Chains A and B, each alone.
Chain A
Amino acid sequence: MLIKRPADIPSSQITDKKTYLNRREFVRAATGTAALAAVGAIGAEALLHAQPPAPHRTKLLNVKPSEFSTTEKPNTWEQITTYNNYYEYGTDKDSPAYYAGRLKPAPWSVAVEGEVAKPAVWHLEDILKGQTLEDRIYRHRCVEAWSMVIPWVGFPLADFIKKVQPTSKAKFVEFTTLADPDQMPGIRFPSLRWPYVEGLRMDEAMHPLTILTVGLYGEVLPNQDGAPIRLTVPWKYGFKSAKSIVKIRFVEQQPLNSWQRAQSNEYGFYANVNPTVDHPRWSQAKEIRLPGLFRNHTTEMFNGYGDQVAKLYTGMDLRKNY
């Protein structure tokens, strides 16, 4: 027997086909719009996440002024600690500010090796023992054509070199920096060959402008600027100034520095600031003194330190030895 069951839904409540199809169109249109709106939102989110500046640290005591300091206005603490090239923490300018909190700058030691009378591992405290610290307000010129004025605190590298007594065979100094993936997440990606290596000729290393830097603005150096101890060579492009140094090696042969190894046609060993020798991909004649919207500053030979350092390079072809 066939019993006709009543419809579950009265016909009055059945959406007619036209409206039903319409609804599907609506859902499609809405989905598409939502997807695009999401893209917009993600984009806005992806835009410019400014990192907070480095926390302030202990004040350094008995810091003396230096005749080598410039009188130009220094960049702010915030600018110097949020805009950094430090690939060990990542290749974005704000990566160091974001990740550098993971670094443990103490205890710290530096191995001194190679052509020296007494190779040894130096604790940072021993390196600093009895050492007079100086304010060195230096111009800092990046190879990427931007520059800052930075009030470093440090002492001449020459002072330390005299203590470790290099032998007559020592012609160059090679600096190796920390490469610990747990403290520096950028190490997990081979943006450069790790660890980072830099080098100076002996006379460059002994020059009074060349300093080992341990502070900024009279305070202990923030991690993103190369804590606890870094090199500062103000007449050379910034990448020469190795950060977070763990090894100093005295050698006979010219070291192969990391950027030269990565791109030897773009980055050489000397890397002296030179407005007449362009980087293959951009001009070095002008720079942006940060913060700036355009190249607001003419680049000076040897970053303006020519009077003190030009004599180191007499007779050298600086076009070849870039």
Chain B
Amino acid sequence: MTENQITRWLAKPAVFVAASVPAVILIYLTWAAYNGNQSAWPALTGNLSANPLEDITHQTGDWTLRFICITLAVTPLRRLTGWNGAIRFRRMLGLFAFFYGSLHFLTWAILDRFISLDFPNGVVSWTAVRTFAGSVGEDIYKRKFITIGFAAFVAMWPLALTSTAGMIRRLGGRRWQRLHRLIYFSAVAAVIHYFWLVKSDLRRPITYALIIAVLLGFRAYWARTHARPVRARTAVTERGVGNPVP
């Protein structure tokens, strides 16, 4: 097997499965909690606490941040080890960050907002849409930790939408790469979101802030010590943006 085949048929599917595990467990536990049950395999999956909404909100948020960190670690890993194959995992990892971010957003929008609203004209009506939008909008406007968290999520949308090979080609490597630096904003905004929401114990937000500071700091360091020739072009392959073509 060539490295290409190993990556494609073994490594990527394995990463996909591993990255899905938390979501599968959470969805299973939510379903069990909804039915008033506990996990049938508590040793394997754990259990939700007496406050499942809080668990789901925190877990999906944590996993979003973890995948943002893992995604941001790909480039430093590649630079430090010289293993360029790492780049082939980046898109999937980034999309998992977006996936967990979406679950986090939906948990808030549906379980925290939507369900607790009253819809006198039924759920399928203009007033329902207005009430829901008003409730979501009010929270985003009034509570700054939600404002910044929402901004972090919104900034991930263009990245997810332009993650396909076709979009990379259409945008051109340079522009695509510039656009995708938005992830730096999302990472920083997500950490600020975490800082602003905790009641008093800042240890976890500080941990994420340090990890992200190292990962972004590495890029700044690398850019200074490895300045590229002005006219070098960036190779764009269907698998992503690669090394500059000499």
Contact = CB atoms under 8 A, between A and B. Distances in A.
B46 A47 contact: yes
Interface in B184-234: 196-197, 199-201, 203
Interface string A58-97: 0000000000000000010011001100010001011000
A48 B14 contact: no
Nearest to B25: A47
A262 B26 CA distance: 34
A25 interface: yes
Interface in A19-46: 22, 25-26, 28-30, 32-33, 36-37, 39-41, 43-44, 46
Interface of B: 1-3, 6-7, 10-11, 14-15, 17-19, 21-22, 25-26, 29-30, 33-34, 42, 45-56, 59, 62-63, 66, 70, 77, 81, 83, 85-86, 89, 111-112, 115-116, 143, 145, 196-197, 199-201, 203
13 contacts: A30-B6, A36-B15, A39-B18, A41-B18, A43-B22, A47-B46, A48-B49, A83-B51, A87-B200, A93-B54, A189-B203, A288-B53, A291-B48
Contacts, number: 144
B51 A189 contact: no
A47 B59 contact: yes
A37 B115 CA distance: 36
Contacts of B48: 48, 50, 291
A313 interface: no
Nearest to A76: B50
A39 B46 contact: no
Given A33-B11, A50-B46, 15 more contacts: A36-B89, A41-B18, A43-B63, A46-B62, A47-B59, A48-B25, A50-B47, A78-B50, A82-B49, A87-B201, A91-B200, A91-B201, A94-B49, A191-B200, A191-B201
Contacts of A50: 42, 46-49
Given A39-B70, A91-B200, A294 B49 contact: no
Nearest to B84: A28
A32 B66 contact: no
A47 B19 contact: no
Contact of A291 (B10, B50, B63): B50
Contacts of A189: 201, 203
Contact of B30 (A36, A47, A79, A293): A293
